[in-house]
Amino acid sequence: MKTLLVAALSLGLLASPAAAQSAPTKASTKASKSANAAQLVPVKIDDGFKTRTYWLDPAFEIAFSDVAPAGGTSAKIAESQAREAAPGVWVRPAGGASAKSLAGSDSPAFRAGTRPDSPLMGLPGGVLVRFDDSLNRTQALAWLAGRSLVVVRELKLSAPTFEVASESGMASIELARALLAEPEIVVASPNWWQEVETN
């Protein structure tokens, strides 16, 4: 499954935007364009570098799965069905679940801007964590292990920086906020997937 580390780019953690590109897809179908901008709910997230605003779109949800969710198909689809936005990423009309009660591999749908056809974004799981320069790699890894946080991968930067595992959806935002409250952490941001539109 491919995901997009938008958070890493926005924080300047990755050198090249190409490193964070998901497979190009036809981004906005009729279904995603039908969202009403007036229904978008602003969600502010302080990642330690900057406070950013993302726009929750209650009309859709995103499933991260290598197989189509029930009723879904990767072919041309009607508005009532799921569509594959990228390999392993499915966009479907919201089923009435609250953002906090979606299934384990699901995420509420966000948009990158206030327009109803702004690219969709989702939270596949994972949090990017950058430690204060006063800690070395060994100390940072011990700190994470002491809190039972599993390292998914390490980013080679001047300060110890890791992606740690988390559940998908709002759980990754909550973990990022909790980590940022710790004095040893200077940046904590959920891992974002973002839809890529092809011309």
3-class secondary structure per residue, the chain = CCCCCHHHHHCCCCCCHHHHCCCCECCCCHHHHCCCHHHCEEEEEECCCCEEEEEEEEEEEEEECCCCCCCCCCCCCCCCCCEEEECCEEEEECCCCCCCCCCCCEEEEEECCCCCCCCEEECCCCEEEEECCCCCHHHHHHHHHHCCCCEEEEECCCCCEEEECCCCCHHHHHHHHHHHCCCCEEEEEECCEECCECC
pLDDT at 65: 78
Residues 116-141: pLDDT tens digits? 788 999 999 999 999 999 999 999 99
pLDDT at 88: 79
